[in-house]
Every structure is written in C-alpha cells, then in structure tokens.
Amino acid sequence: MQGEFALALFAAVCVVLMLGFPVALTLAGVSLVFAALGTLAGAFDPSYLLALPARLFGTMTNETLVAVPLFILMGNILERARIAEDLLNNLAQIFGERPGGLGISVVLVGALLAASTGIVGATVVTMGLLSLPTMLRAGYNPSLAAGTICATGTLGQIIPPSIALVLLGDIISSAYQRAQLEMGVLNTATVSVGDLFIGALVPGVILVTCYVLWIAVTGWIAPQNVPPIKTSKVSVMQVAKVLLPPLGLITLVLGSILVGAATPTEASGVGAIGALVLAILRNEMSWQRLREIGQSTLQVTSMIFLILIGASVFSLVFRGFGGEEMVQEFFHTMDGGPGAAFLLVMVTIFLLGFILDFIEITFVVVPIVGPILLAMGFDPVWLGIMIAVNLQTSFLTPPFGFALFYLRGVASDEVSTGALYRGVIPFVLLQLGLLVILWFFPELISWLPNKLN
C-alpha cells in the first residue's frame, strides 16, 4: 500500500502543478494531505514530520544558500543598469557588417548576461525586449531571430555563476554524502558548488561556440536570413569602456572561486557590491531604482526558499511512504545496469522539465535519484552538469519549453508560435549533441576541476 501512496503523491503533485497552482504551496499542501490520508490508512508514520523543523533550520543555517539572494541581487542590478543594451549596440557595430553579425552579437551579449543574472526567464525576457525588434528591423528571419534569443537565454542554466548550479550543487553535495554513507564510506568526500561552477565552464564555452558557428554557417549558406546591417565606426576605447567593466566583474567573481580565494557565497557578495558600484559609476542608480531592485530580489529569493520548504515537506512524506526505497529497488533490478538507469533518469528529468521549473526538479527529483546514481559510481560533478544541460535543453524544446513561453510573452505578432518552434530546433539539436559528447568524453567536465583541486 505504501508504494501506491508514493506513486500517487508524485502524480498528484505533477497534476496540481499543471493546473497552475503555486509551486511551493502545492508541494507542501498535497504532501500534507497525503500524509493525513496515509496516517488514517495506516500507511504513514506521522513521526516523520517531526524532522521538518530540523530540516528548515538546516536550510536557514546553510551558508551555501546565502549565495542565492546575492547572485540574484547582482543580476538585477546589472540588468537594470542598461549594461546589456550598451553591449549589444557596440558589439553590433563591430560584427554587424557581416551576414549573421548581429545574431553573433546577440549570442555573445546573452552569454555575458546569462553569466550575470543566472536566471533563464530574466535573460530571455531582457534579450527579447532588447534584441528581437532590432533583429526583425534588420531583416532577420523571424524564426531564426526568435530561436537565437531563446537559446541564448537558456545559457543562464549552465554558465556560472548560475543560480541553478548553486541550488543543484547543494543538493548534489548532500546526495553524494548520502550515497557514500550507504556504501559504508565513513570518511566521506565532498563536492562543492565551486566544483560545479568549474566543471560547467568548458561545456558552457562549447555551447556558446556552437551557437556562434551555427549563425556564422547560416550567414554563409543563406545570408538573406541573417543580412548585414549598416554600422558606424566605434573606437576600441568605446568598446572597452562598455565591455571591460561587466567582463571584469564576472572574471573577478569566477576567478576568485577558481583559484580558491573565495567560496561561491563570498564571491556572490563581491559580485553584488561590484555590480552596485558599476551601476553608480554609470549614473544608472537612483533610490527608486534601488528600491525596485531590492523588491525584485526579495520576491525571487522568497519564491525559491518557499519552494525549498515545500520540497522538504514533500521529500519527508515521500520517504515516509517508502518511495525512495521503491525507486532504489527499481533502478537496481532494471536491466542494462548503471547506463540504462542514468538514461532513464535523464529522459524523466527532460520530460518533467516541460511541466516543472528547474527549482522544483532540483529540490524534488534530484534528492530522490541523485544518491542512487552516485552510489552506482557516477562522478558527482559530471552528473550535476549533465542534469543542468539536460534541463536547459528541456526548457528550449517545443511545445512546452519554458523559454518559449517567456519569449512568446514579449514577442510581437510578427513572430508566430510556429516560427518560434522552428527557430529553436537547431539549437535543441546542438544541445542534445553536447549531451552526447559529454557522455562519451566526461573529461570535458572533470578535467578542469581535477586540474584546479
């Protein structure tokens, strides 16, 4: 009976989320309803819920999670300081004379913005408002223009300092320790958010390079889809003045983590202060704008941590129904070994990415399957990056990808939904190709962390 309750709980959560109810309240509310029903049916021990206060206190005292509001603050400041707009204007003047040059500029600016905000929705909406009208006026194919912006927006999922990697790193760390304890390893090794940041650098660079090459090839084969634009000369000093400050800030944040001078939490504080200084120097900061930035940061941070609380309730109830043991037994008895188990998890996460945001998947699904896969011998950093790239691909895949909905909300009627879907397909194939490459060449993820540790 417990197994049936566990499966019904997971299915009910997915159904209620698809109906549009708030994520955090759904996770906690549905779980508590099932806990009450399970208690009445004799299938659930309510003493499991006694562990909830300790879990919430552990979340409050988790130093790693302090990086979340600080990175969000950093991204909000850079987004509202019009840095992306200036970058796009200047890079477009440099590359715009060539077919596809404007599209390449959008990818490069989007990559920098992704590294600054770390949030997919914010990057897609910002680039959609800034870039899409410009690309359409320049004569770009609407399908390609929309696909480029959507794909570039999802880079915030993989390019550090990504909020997704911060949250995923904390969960992977806990799952890795649990897996080692279950294998009888008392002196457990650790994995940090910084390790995931370092491991994501090479895949992130590869993906940006693939996007740029695709647009360049399109400009060579079908220049009418990505025509050049009229440009005016810009000086090296003008470009440097716009490019170097945000690039220097991102380098400072990531560099301090790479060399071990600061933890991701400490680096996030440096990033937030640095972004505020840049905004003040650019005369883009007022008390009203600072208030708006603070309110936006508070809203996003509250949403993330409320979901974390709801996910804690869900995981306790799911474990109380024996759900984790049931999943573990299923993976150990299935044919195909660890490879088949990993493939099944990746397909499941990919499909769940259509209906759940990365936060819910990170807090709900990864704690269940993570310890099982790690106990099978998979490297924790490699597993974390593979999940992040998989979710990034899911958010881009028609017809349910979140990035598509974000851009559809700000795009003009000139870009049809069908054109939007067609435009992202080449980028989805590029990301699937990256997953295959990372599967056969895991050193692309593990080499840099091993070199620096």
Q: Which of 209-218, 241-250, 349-358 has the lowest mean pLDDT?
A: 349-358
Q: Residue range 373-391: average pLDDT?
A: 90
CA distances from 310 to 3, 7, 29, 388 (A): 21, 18, 8, 22
Q: Per-residue pLDDT for 209 more than 90?
A: yes
Which residues neighbour 186 within 8 Å (Cβ) at sequence distance 6 or greater? none
Q: Per-residue pLDDT for 338 more than 70?
A: yes
Q: Which conformational region is residue 262 in: left (phi greater than 0), alpha (psi within -120 to 50 degrees), or beta?
A: beta
Q: Per-residue pLDDT for 10 more than 70?
A: yes
Angle between helices 52-60 and 287-320 (to 10 degrees): 150
Under 8 Å between Cβ of 55 and 312: yes
Cis preceding-peptide flag for 46 (omega within 30 of 0): no
Cis preceding-peptide flag for 161 (omega within 30 of 0): yes
Please tell me the predicted confidence (pLDDT) of residue 121. Answer: 66
Q: Per-residue pLDDT for 171 more than 80?
A: yes
Encoded tokens for 382:
């490699």
Q: Per-residue pLDDT for 380 more than 80?
A: yes
Under 8 Å between Cβ of 115 and 205: no
Under 8 Å between Cβ of 149 and 131: yes
Please tell me the predicted confidence (pLDDT) of residue 64. Answer: 77
Under 8 Å between Cβ of 124 and 407: yes
User: Token match 């008392």: residue?
Assistant: 186
Q: Residue range 196-220: average pLDDT?
A: 92
Please tell me the predicted confidence (pLDDT) of residue 93. Answer: 78
| Spatial CA neighbour of 223 closest among 107, 92, 99 | 99
Please tell me the predicted confidence (pLDDT) of residue 186. Answer: 65
CA 415/CA 285 separation, integer angstroms: 34
Q: Per-residue pLDDT for 190 more than 80?
A: no
- Mean pLDDT for the chain overall: 84
Q: Residue range 405-420: average pLDDT?
A: 81
CA 170/CA 362 separation, integer angstroms: 10
Q: Per-residue pLDDT for 451 more than 90?
A: no
Q: Residue range 399-409: average pLDDT?
A: 76
Long-range CB pairs of 186-192, under 8 A, 24+ apart, other chains included:
191/380, 191/381, 191/384, 192/64, 192/263, 192/264
For Cα atoms 427, 430, 435, give the angle at the middle one, nearest 5 degrees.
Answer: 130
E strands in 57-206:
none
CA distances from 143 to 132, 147, 315, 397 (A): 11, 6, 41, 14
| Spatial CA neighbour of 84 closest among 52, 55, 106 | 106
Helix (H) or strand (E) holding 370: helix 366-375
Please tell me the predicted confidence (pLDDT) of residue 386. Answer: 94
pLDDT: which is higher, 208 or 110: 208
Q: Per-residue pLDDT for 444 more than 90?
A: yes
CA 270/CA 256 separation, integer angstroms: 10
Confidence of residue 122 (pLDDT cuts 50, 70, 90): low
Please tell me the predicted confidence (pLDDT) of residue 111. Answer: 84
Confidence of residue 117 (pLDDT cuts 50, 70, 90): low
User: Token match 């159904």: residue?
Assistant: 15
Please tell me the predicted confidence (pLDDT) of residue 116. Answer: 66
Instruction: Tell me the pLDDT tens digit for each residue of 21-80.
Output: 777 788 889 999 999 999 988 888 888 888 888 878 887 787 877 888 888 888 788 777
Per cent of the chain over pLDDT 90 is 16
Per cent of the chain over pLDDT 70 is 95
- List the alpha helices (DSSP H) in 188-263: 193-221, 236-258
Please tell me the predicted confidence (pLDDT) of residue 33. Answer: 92
What are the b/e assignments for 138-160, b being 16+ CB within 10 Å?
bebbbbbbbbbbbbbbbbbbbbb
CA 73/CA 291 separation, integer angstroms: 12
Round to the nearest angstrom and report the end-to-end CA distance of the chain: 47
Q: Which conformational region is residue 337 in: left (phi greater than 0), alpha (psi within -120 to 50 degrees), or beta?
A: left
Confidence of residue 249 (pLDDT cuts 50, 70, 90): confident
CA 354 to centroid of chain Cα atoms: 14
Which residues neighbour 394 within 8 Å (Cβ) at sequence distance 6 or greater? 349, 350, 351, 352, 353, 354, 401
Encoded tokens for 310:
């709801």
Q: Residue range 256-284: average pLDDT?
A: 85
- CB-CB neighbours of 166 under 10 Å: 27
Please tell me the predicted confidence (pLDDT) of residue 14. Answer: 77
- Which amino acid makes up residue 315? S
CA 216/CA 420 separation, integer angstroms: 20
